[in-house]
Amino acid sequence: MSPRQIMVSAGEVSGDLHGAYLIRELKKLRPDLEFFGLGSERLAAAGVDVVLDLTRRGTIGIFEALPNLWPVYLAFRRLVRLLDERRPDLLILIDSQGLNLPLAREAKKRGIKTVYYIAPQEWLWGTAKGTARVAATVDLIVAIFQKEYDVYKKAGANVVYFGHPLIDIVKPALSKEEARKKFLGREPEQVSGGQRPVIAICPGSRTQEIKGLLPLLLRAGKLIQAELPSARFLIPAATFETIKDSFSLVGNFHPQAVVGHTYDILHASDLALCASGTINLEASLLGVPSIMTYKLSWPTYFIGKYILRIDKKIKYFSMPNILLDENVLPELVMADAEPAKIARVALDILTNEARRQKMLASFAQLRLMLGGPGILPRVAKKILSMI
């Protein structure tokens, strides 16, 4: 009897990360399973036969995605052929709604069961019709937020919720002191004249984000350093190649770029300057205050605000603020996302102890909301019940 085959579809860097942790848990329970599909380096390292990699094509926004439509369409057709050629016992879809929801429909036509892990955010900013469409298309939704579970359950979905997998994933390997020594050479706590703060600059994982946000965050860092000359800066990078072109834009300001080690870098930091995304939640779980910054093209922003009216559906853009229903993390979007304003807010967080302690208390509350350890094993066991 041939081994069971599971197809995986993860089109972005964050999906590749979440998928890799999930596949390892599945393999612990069923070492005989074979995995193949769409992913990148982390899924490949976890034992997936990666047939296609779209992680460099990841974008946010309507007009921003246009240059990638044809490559993504070709990848979609290749994935559909894989469904026909290899007839997997199960298809696991991870994030990437624009690609994976149509793929789920194709799997359904073929009688192939589907699991959506990191499901479409219709539950958050979409419509009741869109939520019902997801519920009717996917055989099992693994929710990662309680509200997500509630909305999809109401829509008639087969949905489960065990907690957020980041509870199991966000674990630095080093203590704060060890991380600072490793990345900065020595413990930078006290210097003559006061504190030596450490600031992480996290521009996101998508090429679009890095090109658009990293120069802006570097300029903000230079302004912060002008006020706090003792400040040290770290950048967690997937590869140095992804960020090196931005360094020439800020003259003599040279933060330390480190490939990998995102959680250790965050753990070593007193503040993180971040893009919008999973990094906001990761920093919060590590008890690190952060500032969320983001810029889209003005046409995309116009459509989102005045046609889709997303700002009427959600009060906040960063997931910690959404979950806490409170403006805990500063959100500097579009015109507000400019170096001088980012620097001013950063300096206030670094020097205003009352504000800092309030943020830390909110992060402790957030952690309690997201569940206890052992989430990934429970998710893996439920997924295996589908085959």
Closest CA to 310 of 128, 126, 155, 151: 126
- Confidence label for 192 from pLDDT (cuts 50, 70 and 90): very low
d(CA 199, CA 224): 10
Average of pLDDT values for 294-303? 58
- pLDDT, tens digit (0-9, with 9 covering 90-100), for 95-125: 989 899 999 999 999 999 999 999 998 888 8
DSSP string, 334-387: GGG-SHHHHHHHHHHHHH-HHHHHHHHHHHHHHHHHT--S-HHHHHHHHHHTT-
CA distance 203 to 275: 5
At residue 339's C-alpha, the angle toward residues 334 and 341, to 5°, is: 75
**What's the whole-model pTM score?**
0.87
**Residues 149-178: tens digit of each pLDDT:** 999 999 999 999 999 999 999 999 999 999
Distance CA 270, CA 252 (A): 23
Q: With left for phi above 0 and alpha for psi between -120 and 50, is residue 61 left, alpha or beta? A: left
94: which DSSP letter? E
pLDDT of residue 236: 86
- The mean-pLDDT minimum among 88-92, 253-257, 357-361 falls in 253-257
Strand locations in 79-135 (E): 90-94, 114-117
More confident residue, 294 or 242: 294
58 vs 320, residue with greater confidence = 320
| 19 has pLDDT over 60 | yes
Residue 265 DSSP class: H
pLDDT band at residue 23, thresholds of 50, 70 and 90?
very high
**CA atoms of 182 and 320, how far apart (whole Å):** 29
Question: Which is it for strands 194-195 and 190-191: parallel, antiparallel or unpaired?
Answer: antiparallel
pLDDT of amino acid 203: 85
Q: What is the pLDDT, as a whole number, of residue 62?
A: 44
Q: If pLDDT is split at 50, 70 and 90, which confidence band does 259 have?
A: confident
Q: Let me know: does 141 contact 152? Beta carbons within 8 Å.
A: yes
Average pLDDT, the chain: 87
CATH number for the segment(s) 5-163+372-384: 3.40.50.2000
Q: How many CB atoms lie within 10 A of CB 324?
A: 18
Q: 60: pLDDT confidence band, cut at 50, 70 and 90?
A: low
CB atoms within 10 A of CB 380: 21
Per-residue pLDDT, 58: 53
pLDDT score for 315? 83
Q: Give the pLDDT band (50/70/90) at residue 71.
A: confident
Q: Which fold has domain 173-369?
A: Rossmann fold (3.40.50)
Region 31-52 average pLDDT: 96
Angle at the Cα of 352 (from 173 to 231), degrees rounded to 5? 55
What are the start and end residues of each CATH 3.40.50.2000 domain in the chain?
A: 5-163+372-384, 173-369
106 burial via Cβ count (<10 Å: 0-12, 13-18, 19+): middle
What stretches of 102-246 adopt beta strand conformation (E)? Answer: 114-117, 140-143, 159-161, 190-191, 194-195, 198-202, 232-237
Question: Looking at 154-158, 316-320, 374-378, which range is the least confident one?
Answer: 316-320
What is d(CA 157, CA 135) in angstroms, rounded to the nearest whole number? 4
Q: What is the 3-state secondary structure (H, E, C) of 228-246?
A: CCCCEEEEEECCHHHCHHH
Rounded CA separation 168/358 (Å): 25
C-beta separation of 270 from 252 below 8 A: no
> How high is the pLDDT of residue 383?
98
